[in-house]
Amino acid sequence: MKKLINSPESVLTDALAGIAAVHPELRVDHDRRIIVRADAPRTGKVALVSGGGSGHEPLHGGFVGPGMLDAACPGEVFTSPVPDQVLAAAKAVDGGAGVLFVVKNYTGDVMNFRLAAELAADEGIAVRTVLVDDDVAVQDSTWTAGRRGTGATVFVEKIAGALADRGADLDKVAEMAEKVNAASRSFAVALTACTTPAAGRPGFDLPADEIEIGVGIHGEPGRSRGKLAPARELVGLAMDAILTDQPLDAGDKVIVLVNGLGGTPLIELYVAAAEVAAVLAARGVRIGASLVGNYVTSLDMAGVSITVCRADDEMLDLWAAPVTTPGLRWGN
């Protein structure tokens, strides 16, 4: 294993020290392991708190700031944060208007955030939770833990964060978050496995000419394995899965995320973006907004995830609203 780390055990601690060193507009509480807007709590504003395992940067710490999250709770690599962390974040940011937890649908995240919500309620903080579950590679059924939360998390955090900035109340912000999630679908393809610092070797063996289809963001293998193919075919596979689950009609508007999983060069993501645009254009679907880059990563995994959100004008307007975070920044 070659990694730019001091030790596998200290990766999160050391990375938090880096965030604190270069982002004075954020407050890093090293003991509680939370990243908070330096100007929190904002009186009267609904606060957004998210979190999850580390290794997905810039998600979530990179999305803390005006127009998006008020706090993030990073767990160990690929491990959800603990309830104490989430509670500390909720207390740090609650400005009296309540707190929205944005939780990706994984068993551990759901349990730890649920325990935190109970603790927060005991302390008189109004909490609502939105579960993000956009990954169509997992069938939502009684036979699985349900769809995973992946790329749509960026859409939910940005759009709900903008609405909170405009002064909407907790129920309205939660409702919008749920609406964005319900309108979003994702699918990912991996070209290589990723290596967690703790394991020290790739999560699965993948021959040079094979890919994993339908992967998540935690280095777990996908639903199936296939042969490496041109980007046009791989994107076609992903778009088929997305559009089968949520058909789009001519005239629909979408927000598109072409997301690198951590080890894919930007030029390849633009190759994928061209294919996504071609598929949508062929159906008469208009791209209202888009994002290409590494936003929800899986450490050093090579590969791409595509997220498509069917957006109405309000969602597009909120997406375009100003945001100032380490990971997303525009309009100011």
Active-site residue set: 56, 218
* Chosen residue from 111, 121, 278, 282 binding other proteins by CB under 8 A: 111
Distance of CA 87 to the CA centre of its chain: 20
Enter the DSSP assignment of 298. Answer: -
Rule CB under 8 A: choose which of 78, 155, 187, 319 binds other proteins.
78
Find the binding residues for other proteins in span 151-190 (CB under 8 A): none
Least distance in angstroms from the C-beta of 328 to other proteins: 26
* Residues found in the chain: 332
What is residue 147's DSSP assignment?
P
Query: 95 vs 108, which CB is nearer to other proteins?
Result: 108
CA pair distance 99, 318, nearest whole angstrom: 19
Return the number of the residue (84 or 317) whose C-beta is nearest other proteins. Answer: 84
Q: Which stretch binds other proteins (CB under 8 A): 72-80, 120-128, 153-161, 316-324?
A: 72-80
Chosen residue from 6, 107, 244, 290 binding other proteins by CB under 8 A: 107
- Cis bond before residue 66 (omega within 30° of 0): no
Least distance in angstroms from the C-beta of 226 to other proteins = 13
**Side-chain half-sphere CA neighbours of 257 within 13 A:** 28
Q: How far is the CB of 314 from other proteins (least distance, A)?
A: 33
Closest by CA to 217, choosing from 103, 111, 144, 305, is: 305
Q: Is 84 in the site for other proteins (CB under 8 A)?
A: yes
Q: Is 267 in the site for other proteins (CB under 8 A)?
A: no
User: How far are the Cα atoms of 35, 129, 240, 319 from residue 300, in angstroms, in the given order?
Assistant: 23, 30, 26, 28
Residue (166 or 223) nearer to other proteins, CB:
223
Q: 71-77 and 47-54 as β-strands: parallel, antiparallel, unpaired? A: parallel
**Phi, psi (degrees; rounded to nearest 5) at 267:** -65, -35
- Give me the least distance between CB of 270 and other proteins, in Å please: 29
We find the least distance from the C-beta atom of residue 203 to other proteins, in angstroms, to be 5
Helix/strand/coil for 257 = strand
Of these, 199, 237, 271, 289, which contacts other proteins (CB under 8 A)?
A: 199
Shortest separation between residue 76's beta carbon and other proteins, angstroms:
6
Out of 112, 186, 192, 264, the only residue in the binding site for other proteins (CB under 8 A) is 112
Using the structure block, give the residue that is written with the tokens 């904002």: 42
In the region spanning residues 279 to 318, those forming contacts with other proteins, defined by CB under 8 A, are none
**Smallest separation (angstroms) from other proteins to the CB of 33:** 10
Q: Report CA torsion sign: 192, 292, 48, 332.
A: positive
Between residue 32 and residue 71, which ones bind other proteins under the rule CB under 8 A? 53
User: With contact defined as beta carbons under 8 Å apart, do 325 and 67 qualify?
Assistant: yes
Q: Are 199 and 163 in contact (CB under 8 A)?
A: no
Nearer residue to other proteins within complex by CB, 65 or 75: 75
Report if residue 30 touches other proteins, rule: CB under 8 A.
no
Residue 182: partners with Cβ closer than 8 Å, 6 or more residues away: none
Answer whether 98's CB lies under 8 Å from 123's CB. Answer: no
d(CA 32, CA 219) in angstroms, rounded, equals 27
Site pattern 125..154 for other proteins (x: CB under 8 A): ------------xx---xxxx--x------
| β partners of residue 202 | 195
The residue range among 75-83, 157-165, 239-247, 262-270 that interacts with other proteins, by the rule CB under 8 A, is: 75-83
Q: Which residues bind other proteins (CB under 8 A)?
A: 8, 53, 75-84, 106-108, 111-112, 115, 137-138, 142-145, 148, 196, 198-199, 201, 203-204, 216, 218-224
